[in-house]
Structure 1
Amino acid sequence: MGNTSSMLTQYDIEDVENHCSQRFTQREIVSLYQRFCALDRSGKGYISGDEFMSVPEFAVNPLSQRLLGILEGLNFKEFVAVLSAFSPLATINDKLDFIFRVYDIRNNGKVSSEDMIRVLRDLSGDFLTDKQRQAVVTQALEESGYSKDYSLTPEDFLKVLSNGGLKMDVEVPID
């Protein structure tokens, strides 16, 4: 499975299925593998940043650089494990853990108000001013009982974001 030119065996499929906590069916895993192999044009067993950026939907995503930091260089098994956060079977904690990783700009296990403002800047572009972004972040933190100077742990982050509904399910197309 390290080299994408080989086909998945039943053992590989079951291994990936277990690794992603059965959040994808075996047919979905095979479909994801085909897509993974199509993206891994170099055949190295992982998708490079350039290969990810060749996908128009990925390239225009305002968080593409943050997502690259999470996805680039993952082998297929690791890639599916990350994608499992988008499964309808994933828990809210799994989804929030993925979002936390996007916001954790320094990869230090904490999200500061500056991290949140930076991600909000990526998401909002010119639609919000820096002052408006600061106000949004400050209000979200204060409504959850935190100050703007506090760095959120994953548990704190869950508290802040779980105040609203969260939907991030993706259907895997099966060929």
Structure 2
Amino acid sequence: MGSASSMLTQYDIEEVQEHCNQIFSQQEIVSLYQRFCQLDRNAKGFISADEFLSVPEFAMNPLSQRLLKMVDGLNFKDFVAFLSAFSAKASMQQKIEFIFKVYDSDGNGKVSFMDIVEVLRDLSGSFMSDEQRENVLCQVLQEAGYSRESYLMLDDFIKILGSPALKMEVEVPVD
């Protein structure tokens, strides 16, 4: 795909569609490419953490620091793959895999009690004390059949979060 300032070819669009499991239409990919080019201010072909932070909704997200670890240095194909988890067309499995990666910040394939507490701390801020967070988490884990010492794997996340009520979607505006 070359530099970010070059135009997408039909081949590029189809390659990106394949990379994101056909989640986005060709028109949506063109729109995402335009947004990618806007974010890639230096036309390096990838987006830095600072460039992601220029998006107000991203910068205000309480999980932005965790997400930055996932997005720093994404090229266009990986940018689209990252966003595909937020599509209404993404499967429940894809959404849960994304959430798992947010919790598994060290990328070791398992989520510990403290990993979850850290995410809860990011989400709740000073609204809850660490003790309150830990008590709530212990109760939730116990109800799901886990303990404070349990490590949750991706399969566990699928089991716990596999509810059809899970909603995680963003619309891609098409010009």
Task: For residue 38 of structure 1, report the CA deviation from its aligned partner.
Answer: 0.2
Match of 1:171 in 2: 171
Match of 2:125 in 1: 125
User: Secondary structure, in 3 states, of the residue corresponding to 2:172?
Assistant: coil
Match of 2:27 in 1: 27
After superposition, the C-alpha distances for 1:91-120 in whole angstroms (9 at most, x for unaligned) are 111000000000002211110010000001
State the AA in 1 paired with 2:134: Q
* Cα distance change on mapping 1:155 and 1:124 into 2, 3 Å: same
Match of 2:110 in 1: 110
TM score, norm. by length of structure 2: 0.96
User: Secondary structure, in 3 states, of the residue corresponding to 2:36?
Assistant: helix
1:135 to 2:135 alignment = yes
* Cα distance change on mapping 1:98 and 1:7 into 2, 3 Å: same
CA distance in 1, matches of 2:148, 2:50: 36
State the AA in 2 paired with 1:118: E
User: Secondary structure, in 3 states, of the residue corresponding to 2:119?
Assistant: helix
CA distance in 2, matches of 1:164, 1:138: 24
Task: For residue 30 of structure 1, report the CA deviation from its aligned partner.
Answer: 0.4
Match of 1:58 in 2: 58
Contact 1:141–1:160 under 8 Å retained in 2 = no
Q: Which runs of 5+ in 2 are unaligned?
A: none
* Cα distance change on mapping 1:33 and 1:108 into 2, 3 Å: same
Match of 2:45 in 1: 45
Q: Which runs of 5+ in 1 are unaligned?
A: none
Contact 1:144–1:159 under 8 Å retained in 2 = no
CA distance in 2, matches of 1:25, 1:92: 19
User: Secondary structure, in 3 states, of the residue corresponding to 2:15?
Assistant: helix
After superposition, the C-alpha distances for 1:48-85 in whole angstroms (9 at most, x for unaligned) are 01111112211111111110111111110011111111
Summarize the alignment of residues 3-18 of structure 1 with structure 2, pairs less than 5 Å apart.
3-18=3-18
Which segment drifts farther, 24-33 or 128-137? 128-137
Task: For residue 140 of structure 1, report the CA deviation from its aligned partner.
Answer: 1.9
State the AA in 2 paired with 1:61: N
Match of 2:88 in 1: 88
Contact 1:2–1:45 under 8 Å retained in 2 = yes
Contact 1:140–1:160 under 8 Å retained in 2 = no
Percent of residue pairs identical: 63
State the AA in 2 paired with 1:62: P
CA distance in 1, matches of 2:55, 2:22: 27
Contact 1:2–1:75 under 8 Å retained in 2 = no
Moved over 2 A (4+): 160-165
Q: CA RMSD in A?
A: 1.2
Task: For residue 165 of structure 1, report the CA deviation from its aligned partner.
Answer: 2.3
Task: For residue 41 of structure 1, report the CA deviation from its aligned partner.
Answer: 0.4
1:73 to 2:73 alignment = yes
CA distance in 1, matches of 2:155, 2:162: 10
Task: For residue 139 of structure 1, report the CA deviation from its aligned partner.
Answer: 1.8
